[in-house]
């Protein structure tokens, strides 16, 4: 378990501000955010590679705040793998054991065999790193990091250098390893597919501040801010206003089931995921619907993005290829679009006092 309490740090010219976070024992936790948001700075601060301005770091009940990196029992796998080019694969994997002599006889051989088997790298043991593919290097780096039995494993953009096919294979192996070893793992990434495949919970970080923590479903379905909503792909975000006692979506559509707290400097928004918006040629069997005209159609090969202009609002809906062709959609066509109450995500933001 990792407990981070009110951590502030300036590192690599970047600042983290009063970060508090708990990662549970045996959990696979993902730190997700845009480039330059502070993901790696936070990870390296926990590892002891940056000097703290304030805060405490507790790992498995032990206060490691003042300890050197090598005293924290943490392993890091960086995106460039950092293998020793003059050592064969077996020597690379076992390198860390020379600093953990108390574990060589007790766990070294059995753990080594397990890692080699799960990661399927037995045929690579006598090769040098420059004769390995990217996926093979990643597996070797993982084996080296885990052989020393760390309390925590850090993965820094672990799949960014891999092609899509190799990435899928290595992700499955990482998932199997985690299920087998139950090592508390923190993965830094900006890739949503990696998060969906591996993470139990997520923290969204931006400009050195944790924005939201939750399960993958909570983060992607109920983001708590406009930043988080847009970052996780919720493109339909509209201000809500109260007119004549009614809650209106952009002054056009009454949301009769929504209740908002009335307070100065508090703004509410309604957010919808594109896949939750229904498009049809006639009246829809949804809780809310509005009529509009198709303003743009974009096909990305996996789904079709249909943009519909309804009054002063531009909605974005995602349709499967079959559904798109079934509806015979084209630009400027009049259509109905709708959504259900359960798919409305209310975002509340404090505008401050100005």
Pair (148, 45) in one structural domain: yes
Whether the CB-CB separation of 320 and 303 falls below 8 Å is answered with yes
CATH number of the domain enclosing 335: 2.40.50.100
Pair (12, 53) in one structural domain: yes
Predicted local distance difference test score (pLDDT) of residue 214: 96
Pair (53, 84) in one structural domain: yes
Tokens 């039995």 sit on residue = 149
Domain termination site, one of 221, 246, 272: 221
Closest CA to 61 of 2, 142, 132: 2
Whether the CB-CB separation of 51 and 7 falls below 8 Å is answered with no
Q: Is 51 part of a structural domain of the chain? A: yes
- Summarize the confidence of residues 182-209 as an average pLDDT: 93
Give 101's pLDDT tier (boundaries 50, 70, 90).
Answer: low
Pair (255, 187) in one structural domain: no
What does the alpha-carbon distance between residue 132 and residue 118 come to, in Å, rounded to a whole number? 18
Q: Is 228 part of a structural domain of the chain? A: no
Q: What residues make up the domain containing 306?
A: 234-350
State the pairing for strand pair 152-156/184-189.
parallel
Pair (260, 189) in one structural domain: no
Number of domains in the chain: 2
Pair (213, 80) in one structural domain: yes
What does the alpha-carbon distance between residue 50 and residue 298 come to, in Å, rounded to a whole number? 45
| pLDDT above 90 for 267 | no
Predicted local distance difference test score (pLDDT) of residue 105: 46
What does the alpha-carbon distance between residue 62 and residue 16 come to, in Å, rounded to a whole number? 22
- Summarize the confidence of residues 136-160 as an average pLDDT: 92
Pair (342, 260) in one structural domain: yes
Domain termination site, one of 173, 194, 221: 221
| pLDDT above 60 for 108 | no
Pair (267, 302) in one structural domain: yes
| pLDDT above 50 for 353 | no
The per-residue pLDDT for range 9-40, each reduced to its tens digit, is 987 678 898 999 999 999 999 999 998 898 98
What does the alpha-carbon distance between residue 76 and residue 152 come to, in Å, rounded to a whole number? 9
Q: What's the whole-number average pLDDT of the chain? A: 89
Q: Which region among 138-147, 233-242, 252-261 has the lowest average model confidence (pLDDT)?
A: 252-261
| pLDDT above 80 for 103 | no
What does the alpha-carbon distance between residue 243 and residue 247 come to, in Å, rounded to a whole number? 6
* Lookup: tokens for 75: 């392993």
Predicted local distance difference test score (pLDDT) of residue 109: 57
The per-residue pLDDT for range 285-295, each reduced to its tens digit, is 999 999 999 99
Pair (103, 181) in one structural domain: yes
| pLDDT above 70 for 104 | no
What does the alpha-carbon distance between residue 348 and residue 143 come to, in Å, rounded to a whole number? 45
Beta bridge partners of residue 10, listed in sequence order: 15
Radius of gyration of the chain (CA): 25
Domain termination site, one of 221, 256, 282: 221
| pLDDT above 80 for 100 | no
- Summarize the confidence of residues 117-138 as an average pLDDT: 93
Predicted local distance difference test score (pLDDT) of residue 162: 86
Whether the CB-CB separation of 166 and 174 falls below 8 Å is answered with no
Q: Spell out the residues 6+ positions from residue 265 whose beta carbon is closer than 8 angstroms to its own.
A: 350, 351, 352, 353, 354
pTM for the full predicted model: 0.87
Pair (97, 242) in one structural domain: no
Pair (64, 12) in one structural domain: yes
CATH number of the domain enclosing 181: 3.40.50.300
The per-residue pLDDT for range 34-92, each reduced to its tens digit, is 988 989 899 999 999 878 899 999 999 999 999 999 899 999 998 888 899 999 999 99
The per-residue pLDDT for range 307-339, each reduced to its tens digit, is 999 988 899 999 999 999 999 999 999 999 999
- Summarize the confidence of residues 191-206 as an average pLDDT: 93
Q: Is 132 part of a structural domain of the chain? A: yes
- Summarize the confidence of residues 233-239 as an average pLDDT: 93
Predicted local distance difference test score (pLDDT) of residue 106: 46
Residue 61 phi/psi, 5-degree rounding, is 80, 0
Q: Spell out the residues 6+ positions from residue 333 whose beta carbon is closer than 8 angstroms to its own.
A: 293, 294
Alpha-helix runs per DSSP H in the chain = 39-46, 89-94, 101-103, 109-119, 134-147, 164-181, 192-198, 216-221, 226-231, 321-327
3-state secondary structure of 84: coil
């Amino acid at each position: 378990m990792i407990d981070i309490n009110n951590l502030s740090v300036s590192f690599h010219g970047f600042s983290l501000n009063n970060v508090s976070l708990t990662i549970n024992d045996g959990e696979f936790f993902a730190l997700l955010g845009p480039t330059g948001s502070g993901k790696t700075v936070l990870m390296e601060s926990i590892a002891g590679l940056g000097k703290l301005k304030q805060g405490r770091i507790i790992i498995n009940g032990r206060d490691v705040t003042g300890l050197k990196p090598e005293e924290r029992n943490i392993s890091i796998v960086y995106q460039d793998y950092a293998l020793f080019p003059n050592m064969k694969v077996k020597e690379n994997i076992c390198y860390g054991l020379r600093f953990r002599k108390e574990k060589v006889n007790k766990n070294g051989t059995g753990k080594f065999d397990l890692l080699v088997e799960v990661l399927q790298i037995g045929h690579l043991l006598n090769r040098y790193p420059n004769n390995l593919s990217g996926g093979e290097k990643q597996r070797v780096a993982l084996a080296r990091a885990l052989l020393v039995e760390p309390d925590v494993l850090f993965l820094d953009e672990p799949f960014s250098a891999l092609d899509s096919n190799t990435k899928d294979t290595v992700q499955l192996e990482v998932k199997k390893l985690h299920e087998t070893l139950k090592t508390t793992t923190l993965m830094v990434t900006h890739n949503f597919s990696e998060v969906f495949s591996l993470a139990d919970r997520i923290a969204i970080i931006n400009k050195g501040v944790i924005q939201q923590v939750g399960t993958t479903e909570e983060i992607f379905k109920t983001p708590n801010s406009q930043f988080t909503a847009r970052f996780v792909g919720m493109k339909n975000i509209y201000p809500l206003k109260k007119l004549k006692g009614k809650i209106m979506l952009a002054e056009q559509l009454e949301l009769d089931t929504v209740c908002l707290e009335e307070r100065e400097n508090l703004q509410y928004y309604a957010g919808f995921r594109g896949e939750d918006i229904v498009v049809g040629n006639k009246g829809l069997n949804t809780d809310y619907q509005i009529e509009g005209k198709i303003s743009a159609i974009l096909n990305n090969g996996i789904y079709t993005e249909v943009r519909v202009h309804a009054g002063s609002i531009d909605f974005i809906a995602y349709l499967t290829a079959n559904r798109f062709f079934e509806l015979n959609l084209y630009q400027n066509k009049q259509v109905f679009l709708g959504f259900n109450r359960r798919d409305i995500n209310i975002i509340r933001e404090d505008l401050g006092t100005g």
